[in-house]
Chains A and B, each alone.
Chain A
């Protein structure tokens, strides 16, 4: 008995990848044993970009493999890190000799497995690790703890680094731009309903009618607080206000706005959220130079959204605007 579109739990991720790669046969290639996805037509002579992590966040990361973004994506089981061996094999597959940047969301398992792969390869490949930790909900984690989680800012890091690699930047420059995006980005998420276990249909946490969970991550975990849901303007306004404060965005600051659906949020709802976010930013004199609205970093079928702001400069804007051709974004 399942409550989702699934055959066998053990084959869930692999079958989804087979379907994705078959659908985008012009863009993607699937590598088996160990499992990872690469571009169908690898770039030549550019720094390579590899990311990955647990599955269940699609289109992240496989949907961002393509020209101008990732060279390879390494998927683990649902909400579980890929193995170091998968990461190692992906790096060996895509390195053109100019080195590889690993984009890693800040979770203990992901950081460990990607770092171990980088270390084991150190004698034969130049590898830089960029850790993304944009989630303000985990800001107060104690010293020595795992630190802030990595969420939707990963998309911005992958886009900017991919464009930098494509224009011929060297390894240090590509990694440096990734870190610049991380420093200038912050995210917060809210859930109206938790995600369900694809096998059992069980919710990862319970909310009473009219309640929302503020400060959720992307693995179905509870957030920082449970609150009464206000209007969309109130809920989104609260998130955006905190992001603006954290990034210290004053009048004239230029940002990229990412309104991200967490899996089950309707496009109409995301558009309402985008409208609300823009209203708050306009009131504060913050200039929305570019925006992206849609489900890009999901938590299975969670009903909710996250808002990410990245403070832009001319170079980041140019790299964001550079051409990209992937399953999830193309311009």
Chain B
């Protein structure tokens, strides 16, 4: 408890409470990852969808960047700016990510505990499943959101950083479960090589997002 660590950029990031500084570091780290590796998401989407996902996500985080770098009083303000950038996207995934970020960040607290984070994830994931209409197993972002939200709730008594680490690990496992080879284990012989390891790009982006938080306190 009460630990404080340095992130790679040199800003002091608190492991105990998620404040404006650590939220900013988290969201910017996620943005950098998306911009750097958008092609990976696009390629996955080309295999399972229409191939514009990486580009859409990349455009959204670029839109968000000036807002993420501007002064803020609470983490909620930064979440709201990230949300707006995704709500400005066309298609389906962008707005649903915007909804998720918007509900996740809907808190006035200046320093989030593990419980604040778990509550935010719960609120956000409930809204996305209700409005998006997808369930676990449909090979969507929900396959990562639901287990991540549960893992954060289970670890909510710990620091936010431990709660988010648990959520990130669960999101990664959930995302990997969307690869057809795993999803249709019993009939693995029928799955072609090309479809092997095709993880749903939305679920993968959720894993990237939560992993970005653990990166900033590492």
Contact = CB atoms under 8 A, between A and B. Distances in A.
B167 to A, nearest CB: 21
B106 to A, nearest CB: 6
A74 to B, nearest CB: 12
Contacts of A85: 84, 87-88, 98
A115 B131 contact: yes
A70 interface: no
B102 A120 contact: yes
Interface in A62-120: 80-81, 83-85, 88, 109, 112-113, 115-117, 119-120
A119 B99 contact: yes
Contact of A123 (B88, B89, B96, B106): B106
B83 A120 contact: yes
A63 B92 CA distance: 28
B90 A116 contact: no
A112 B92 contact: yes
A184 to B, nearest CB: 27
B103 interface: yes
Main secondary structure of the interface of A (DSSP, over half): helix
Contact of B89 (A83, A88, A119): A83
A84 B85 CA distance: 10
A285 interface: no
A120 B89 contact: no
A19 interface: no
A32 to B, nearest CB: 13
Main secondary structure of the interface of B (DSSP, over half): helix
B99 A120 contact: yes
B92 A116 contact: no
Nearest to A76: B90
A83 B95 contact: yes
Interface in A209-240: none
A119 B103 contact: yes
Contacts of A88: 84, 87
Contact of B90 (A80, A119, A123): A80
Interface residues of A, number: 16
A84 B103 contact: no
Contacts of A168: none
B127 interface: yes
A250 interface: no
A83 B127 contact: no
A117 B87 contact: yes
Interface string B130-151: 0110000000000000000000
A261 to B, nearest CB: 29
A52 B90 CA distance: 15
A176 interface: no
A120 B103 contact: yes
A266 B157 CA distance: 70
Contacts of A120: 83, 87, 98-99, 102-103
A83 B103 contact: no
B99 A116 contact: yes
A83 B103 CA distance: 17
Contacts of B98: 84-85, 116, 120
A34 B131 CA distance: 23
A81 B99 CA distance: 16
B84 A119 contact: no
Given A119-B127, A123-B106, A84 B99 contact: yes
A83 B131 contact: no
Going nearest first, the 5 A-B pairs with the smallest beta carbon separation are: A85-B87, A84-B87, A120-B102, A85-B88, A116-B99
Given A34-B88, A85-B87, 12 more contacts: A83-B89, A83-B90, A83-B95, A84-B99, A85-B98, A88-B84, A112-B132, A113-B95, A116-B87, A116-B96, A119-B102, A120-B98
14 contacts: A85-B98, A88-B84, A88-B87, A112-B96, A112-B132, A116-B87, A116-B95, A116-B131, A119-B99, A119-B102, A119-B131, A120-B83, A120-B98, A120-B99
